[in-house]
Amino acid sequence: MIVPAPTRRRRKEARPSELTEAALGLFVEKGFAATRLEEVALRAGVSKGTLYLYFDSKEALFKAVIQEGMVPALIEGEGILARHTGTSFELLEALLRIVWTRIGETGSAGIPKLIVAEARNFPEVARFYYENVIRRGRALVGAALERGMVNGEFRQMDIETTIEVVIAPVLMLLIWRFSMASCLGREIDPREYLTIHMDLLRQGLLRSQV
Amino acid sequence: MIVPAPTRRRRKEARPSELTEAALGLFVEKGFAATRLEEVALRAGVSKGTLYLYFDSKEALFKAVIQEGMVPALIEGEGILARHTGTSFELLEALLRIVWTRIGETGSAGIPKLIVAEARNFPEVARFYYENVIRRGRALVGAALERGMVNGEFRQMDIETTIEVVIAPVLMLLIWRFSMASCLGREIDPREYLTIHMDLLRQGLLRSQV
Amino acid sequence: MIVPAPTRRRRKEARPSELTEAALGLFVEKGFAATRLEEVALRAGVSKGTLYLYFDSKEALFKAVIQEGMVPALIEGEGILARHTGTSFELLEALLRIVWTRIGETGSAGIPKLIVAEARNFPEVARFYYENVIRRGRALVGAALERGMVNGEFRQMDIETTIEVVIAPVLMLLIWRFSMASCLGREIDPREYLTIHMDLLRQGLLRSQV
Amino acid sequence: MIVPAPTRRRRKEARPSELTEAALGLFVEKGFAATRLEEVALRAGVSKGTLYLYFDSKEALFKAVIQEGMVPALIEGEGILARHTGTSFELLEALLRIVWTRIGETGSAGIPKLIVAEARNFPEVARFYYENVIRRGRALVGAALERGMVNGEFRQMDIETTIEVVIAPVLMLLIWRFSMASCLGREIDPREYLTIHMDLLRQGLLRSQV
DNA sequence: AATGAATGAGGCTTCATTCAT
DNA sequence: AATGAATGAAGCCTCATTCAT
């Protein structure tokens, strides 16, 4: 009946994402196993015990981190697909670029590397990721490819496999940044990298002119 | 007093690579941190203490694993480059396919995933890997691209960045196999995948026909 | 500003015994150490913090639980002794049966098991229990035995030790119910058990007929 | 093939019972939950980790403690039953006294109290104890009672319930010693206590002379 | 060279207790 | 008076590493 004081209430509601944010950063930096919950707590500015008010275990925290970080970008991608009116290649380009602006340039950028590193140890998380991120992401790219093949813009290719090949460089860019690059200081310029990728694709997907 | 039987002697010399092989398998399967040295010993058929006769620490074992697994393939690639006489695209194709036959289809296939997962925790290993694997691998692909641009087979592009984009799908294929795929049962057919990648590249790299 | 509703007021006065009652149940079920105060609060329908308005610590709660549960039965027993007019054996029987009706069939039935389990960890509680429960209980049984020996109804025996032997089966009955029985489903029928105990005692205490 | 040096080998074989012995003492003194494994290790003269070479968990250690402590006495009791030639009451007396000499006067004396305190938290241990200790113990006493009723030495009573009543004082004596007594300094003299118990039983079980 | 028993530091998790609201 | 979010000490358990044999 009594509404808790605003500050306290805002705290309570904000906590989970404060915690997942801190956890995401550390999981990506050091790996899941090498991250101590005490560090997560410290970075979030709470005590160790507080974590357990919001997450049942370290693994539950892991799952929440994944859940929070990736789904929003997919929802946005699905909106782009629904509203798109230009060429299929422009659609493809818009979809890949949204990955960059909504994931690559945010705190979620490290999630693909994290998933790659830990999938085998947490099959349940892997399955969740597959169903809610990978499957939806591939559906988006697949829709763009199919649209282009149907209207004669792209040549005929096996769609399922092409999806993988088209997405791979974007994923590798993210993964590289959070693995080797970060400890060698050899960053890749994403703008240039993505431009080249789109250039190759633009010409590579085209219905053969010859 | 007792002269070691020949089997035993042969055993002794083979030990280090028996150990790194067992370790590689487990590191890839479960991650470095989650692999217990006791398991490594068990899989190699020795006792836990024996590991320390050959490697000073778990990290030293890690380094040895990386060292042994990747260099041979690069040496072979460098031979191919030196001897090549056909088109530049055929050279590129030969180089990427050698990655598959000498790494992707051997016990070393899991190393890229392992490196991605652990680079940040072992900067020294990362640096070694960069100098001895990545730099040499990129040099090979870079040579093929430059050759093609010089002789008018490929259009002009930024070589350094194109190297990344060209290699990325091959790496992702390896990484996928040892992360998500292995716990979802959704394997990608490498032959088809690489064919599509090369198809896209063949047309994408071409000097514009228009 | 707001006058507490009557229900609330009544509530407040009843709180301490609502809390000890909930605590007793859980202490008996799971042991003192394994009972979380949060559970006690939950069962009593209050919050964790509220417990600390009434009891300084978990140990203080424990003491209160013991204090509340046993003393009333002893007072009743002392009344029976004072008013008794029949044979000494009838007195003994009445005393042992009162244990059953006032303790064994009430929420306090689990206290002896609880005391047995925790006495060593809480010497202060043990001492309180000894002074206020055991000593008074033994005095009652001792009075009945002495009365019987004086008037020739019972044979001469060492009273102090006989007290223990006479009481032991009643205690064991209670203890059994709240330890092994409750997790094996092998309840003892108290009526029959006590009847046999009294039968054995009736003949066992008798002045030898031989 | 190579036999370990004697000292090391003897150590390895003796360890489990050194550990259960230390654990028994502490479990009885402080209760299972309140005993830290570090204390157990300390008392046994080993390190914390060594415990886990022999027992999978604290609960497994608990089970082993029970297993080791009680079964030998029952085996001895079964031998006595098989060889007995005197009166049934003498048999009963021999059985109850063996409990005292083989349990009450040994390190196992605290087990009944321990079981009473923890049965509910460890149903599996409770079941083991029931099947391997209680059931066998009752069978022994039941055999003595039946023998006596058949040959006219004892009067007819419900055997199952009588078993409980006959055993109860012996159990209470053990339980008392390891709960209240040890923190009040009010020991009961076992010799006198058991004598009185047997005196009461001798006359109480007799076929009525009247 | 090889073993495997032993160690002990360190992590995850629990929960009695506190305190701002 | 009541709440429940927050704390942090403490315990169970793991596992890299050591060393006597």
Please, which residues 79-118 of chain D have a Cβ atom closer than 8 Å to chain C? 113, 115-118
What does the pLDDT look like over B103-120, one tens digit per residue? Answer: 999 999 999 999 999 999
Distance separating alpha carbons of residues D129 and D124, to the nearest angstrom: 9
What does the pLDDT look like over A17-73, one tens digit per residue? Answer: 999 999 999 999 999 999 999 999 999 999 999 999 999 999 999 999 998 999 889
According to the model, what pLDDT value does residue C1 have? 46
D8 C-beta less than 7 Å away from strand E: yes
Average pLDDT for chain A: 91
Distance separating alpha carbons of residues B128 and B69, to the nearest angstrom: 13
Reading the block at residue C206, the tokens are: 């008798």
What does the pLDDT look like over D20-65, one tens digit per residue? Answer: 999 999 999 999 999 999 999 999 999 999 999 999 999 999 999 9
**Phi–psi pair at A206, nearest 5 degrees:** -50, 145
B11 C-beta less than 7 Å away from strand E: yes
* Torsion on CA atoms B114, B117, B120, B121, rounded to nearest 10: -70
Average pLDDT (B124-137) is 92
Helices (H), chain B: 6-30, 37-44, 48-54, 58-83, 88-99, 111-118, 123-129, 135-150, 159-177, 180-184, 190-205
Reading the block at residue C167, the tokens are: 């009481």
Distance separating alpha carbons of residues D121 and D126, to the nearest angstrom: 9
Name the nt closest to D53 by C-alpha to C1'. Answer: E5
Name the nt closest to B52 by C-alpha to C1'. Answer: F17
Q: Using the structure, give the distance in angstroms from the CA atom of A49 to the C1' atom of E6, rounded to a whole number.
A: 33
Average pLDDT (D66-93) is 94
Q: Do chains D and B touch (3 or more CB pairs under 8 A)?
A: no
Q: DSSP class of residue C188?
A: -
What does the pLDDT look like over C122-166, one tens digit per residue? Answer: 998 999 999 999 999 999 999 999 999 999 999 999 999 999 999
Average pLDDT (A187-208) is 93
User: Does B203 contact A at CB distance below 8 Å?
Assistant: yes
Domains of chain D (ranges; CATH) run 12-61 (1.10.10.60), 70-205 (1.10.357)
Neighbour tally for D88: CB within 10 Å: 21
pLDDT at B88 over 80: yes
**Phi–psi pair at C75, nearest 5 degrees:** -60, -45
D55 HSE (CA, 13 A, CB side): 21
Nearest to D180 among C126, C172, C197 (CB): C126
**Phi–psi pair at C178, nearest 5 degrees:** -105, 10
- Non-local (6+) Cβ contacts of B195 within 8 A are none
Q: Using the structure, give the distance in angstroms from the CA atom of D56 to the C1' atom of F12, rounded to a whole number.
A: 11
Q: Which residue has the higher pLDDT, D179 or A13?
A: D179
Distance separating alpha carbons of residues A110 and A190, to the nearest angstrom: 15
User: Does D198 contact C at CB distance below 8 Å?
Assistant: no
CB–CB of D118 and C31 under 8 A? yes
Reading the block at residue C79, the tokens are: 């009344």
Q: DSSP class of residue B103?
A: I
Any long-range contacts for B100-106 (C-beta under 8 Å, 24+ apart)?
Answer: B100/B170, B100/B190, B100/B194, B102/B72, B102/B73, B102/B76, B103/B69, B103/B70, B103/B73, B103/B174, B104/B173, B104/B174, B104/B190
Which chains reach chain D with 3 or more Cβ–Cβ distances below 8 angstroms?
Answer: C
